[in-house]
Homo-oligomer: A and B are copies of this chain.
Amino acid sequence: MRRLPRYYSCLCDLQLSGVERISSEELASVMQITSSQVRLDLSHFGNFGQRGYGYNIHQLLISIGNILGIYSDNHLILIGTGKLGRALLRSFPFSRIGFTVDAAFSLSPKIVGAKFAGIPVYPSSMLSDFVRSHQIHVAALTLPSSAAQSTVDELVQQGVTGFWNFTNANLKSDDPRVHFENIRLTDSLLRLNYCVIHPQQEQAARAQKKQKKG
């Protein structure tokens, strides 16, 4: 399952560039995995491949899209309307993957009442009521790290089980249904910079990893 979103994204790009069908070898090359892994993965949800023909990209996209819930009516809210939150509201193509952003919530009285990309900003005091009455299950967290865990605890009580976490906080919940997807932009750029400024250490670490695998 971990690879399904990657398949979906890669196949979307292929379709956009006009490709209609693809062999498991070609798809493996795009996905940077082996072609036997591709065949195994795709066999799990129906038989889309035909020998000598390859996979029909349109059909495959519909099937994977269905499993990923892209054609369902998905809703989310966003909490924290600082620079990052507003950037996300304005720039992320939520609707392309079946999402509607119902509302944003802010601690700042200045911003409450504003709209970003057509999405209204409500005060955080309305958060619990809104989530319960709108049956929201997914929340994007772009608020300060220090407020993240208490907000998670509040939202889990109202039935939110998916958190798209852009904060630095290492969040947790005792509820086994709750899932966190962490986007760590700062960590990622720091890691990249480390590799650039310490090329020898990084190469040695990669070689060691390869050896362990082999």
Contact residues of A with B, CB < 8 Å?
A: 1-2, 4-6, 8-10, 12-13, 16-17, 30-32, 67-70, 72, 74, 83-84, 86-88, 90-93, 96-99, 137-138, 145-146, 161-164, 168-170, 172, 176-177, 179, 181, 183-197, 199, 201-203, 205-206
Contact = CB atoms under 8 A, between A and B. Distances in A.
A164 B190 CA distance: 10
A197 B2 CA distance: 15
A5 B181 contact: no
Tell me whether chain A's interface is mostly helix, strand or loop, or mixed. Answer: helix
B13 A190 contact: no
Contact of A196 (B97, B162, B192): B162
Contact of A179 (B98, B137, B195): B195
Contacts of A176: 203, 206
A204 to B, nearest CB: 11
Contacts of A32: 170, 172
A6 B168 CA distance: 8
Given A176-B203, A205-B1, A137 B190 contact: no
The 4 A-B pairs with the shortest beta carbon distances in the complex, nearest first, are A87-B87, A5-B190, A83-B91, A5-B187
B74 A190 contact: no
20 contacts: A4-B191, A4-B194, A5-B184, A5-B190, A5-B191, A5-B194, A6-B170, A9-B168, A9-B184, A9-B186, A9-B187, A13-B169, A72-B197, A87-B91, A97-B190, A138-B196, A162-B192, A162-B193, A162-B195, A181-B192
